[in-house]
């Protein structure tokens, strides 16, 4: 191969995981890691400095979420190609990553099989989403999305709050809370509050990572 290797920036706060990724990619002569970041802030500054072809981004970083970091990089560099790495395949998180501008969404335990090929695909300009994640996305593609308020309400329900407690916390009336809860149940196709919380965890609306 005569062309320049694909340059990669890895963003992850676990040094051993970064080492593992570096090891796997060291098997590929056409891919080269040019920088490693541990935080969202560092990711942005290292991106500016190196302009890598592809970024591998952990979804959870010590100073914020990988989704926000991706959005910031893509705003500043519209051509940036970010692959999100996560341990969790909920469709809502994947959707968030894609909306923020990510080109790929991979699970950490499939890195071995998929990473190198995904880096090449994304570099060529193809999106790369794991089949199992794509399936989750497709299953909920026609679902109505929860509003920010409804997510807040669902989160509070998950914390064991009563309607009254939620009303007090969010500064709205109990009636409004009830309306939100009913709407959440309908949108998630949940039988009751507990079921809604379970679905919320499974789909990545509530953080359970």
Residue 49 or 209 having the CB closest to other proteins: 209
Q: Which pairing describes strands 64-65 and 60-61: parallel, antiparallel, or unpaired?
A: antiparallel
14 lies in the binding site for other proteins (CB under 8 A): yes
108 lies in the binding site for other proteins (CB under 8 A): yes
3-state SS assignment for residue 92 = helix
Distance CA 102, CA 51 (A): 16
Q: List the one residue from 34, 44, 116, 198 that touches other proteins (CB under 8 A).
A: 198
Burial status of residue 207 (CB atoms within 10 A of its CB: 0-12, 13-18, 19 or more): middle
* Phi, psi angles (nearest 5°) of residue 208: -130, 15
- Tell me how many degrees the CA angle 79-85-86 measures, rounded to the nearest 5: 140
Distance CA 78, CA 68 (A): 15
Cβ 27 to other proteins shortest distance, Å: 6
Burial status of residue 198 (CB atoms within 10 A of its CB: 0-12, 13-18, 19 or more): middle
Strand partners, 39: none
Site stretch for other proteins (CB under 8 A), options 44-52, 89-97, 119-127, 160-168? 160-168
> What track of x and - describes contact with other proteins for positions 115 through 154 (by CB under 8 A)?
----------------------------------------
Give the DSSP H or E segment for 49: helix 40-50
What number of chain residues touch other proteins (CB under 8 A)?
A: 37
Site stretch for other proteins (CB under 8 A), options 22-30, 41-49, 116-124, 143-151? 22-30
CA-to-CA dists, residue 198 to 27, 151, 182, angstroms: 41, 13, 16
24 lies in the binding site for other proteins (CB under 8 A): yes
Cβ 201 to other proteins shortest distance, Å: 7
Site stretch for other proteins (CB under 8 A), options 49-57, 89-97, 108-116, 124-132? 108-116
Segment 59-98, which members bind other proteins (CB under 8 A)? 60, 87
Cβ 150 to other proteins shortest distance, Å: 15
Q: What residues make contact with other proteins under the rule CB under 8 A?
A: 12, 14-21, 23-24, 26-27, 60, 87, 108-109, 111-112, 157-163, 165, 191-195, 197-198, 201, 208-209
């Amino acid at each position: 191969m005569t062309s320049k290797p694909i340059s990669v920036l890895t963003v992850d706060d676990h040094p051993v995981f970064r080492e593992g990724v570096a090891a796997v990619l060291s098997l590929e002569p056409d891919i080269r890691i040019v920088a490693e970041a541990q935080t969202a802030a560092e990711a942005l500054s290292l991106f500016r400095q190196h302009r890598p072809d592809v970024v591998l981004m952990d979804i959870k970083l010590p100073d914020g979420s990988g989704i926000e970091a991706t959005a910031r990089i893509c705003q500043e560099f519209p051509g940036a190609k970010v692959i999100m790495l996560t341990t969790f395949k909920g469709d809502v998180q994947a959707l968030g990553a894609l909306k923020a501008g990510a080109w790929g969404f991979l699970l950490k335990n499939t890195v071995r099989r998929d990473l190198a090929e995904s880096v090449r695909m994304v570099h060529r300009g193809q999106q790369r989403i794991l089949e199992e994640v794509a399936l989750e996305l497709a299953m909920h593609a026609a679902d109505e999305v929860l509003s920010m308020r409804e997510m807040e309400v669902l989160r509070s329900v998950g914390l064991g709050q009563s309607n009254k407690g939620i009303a007090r916390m969010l500064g709205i009336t109990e009636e409004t809370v009830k309306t939100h809860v009913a709407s959440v149940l309908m949108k998630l196709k949940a039988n009751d509050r507990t079921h809604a919380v379970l679905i919320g965890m499974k789909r990545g609306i509530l953080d359970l990572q």
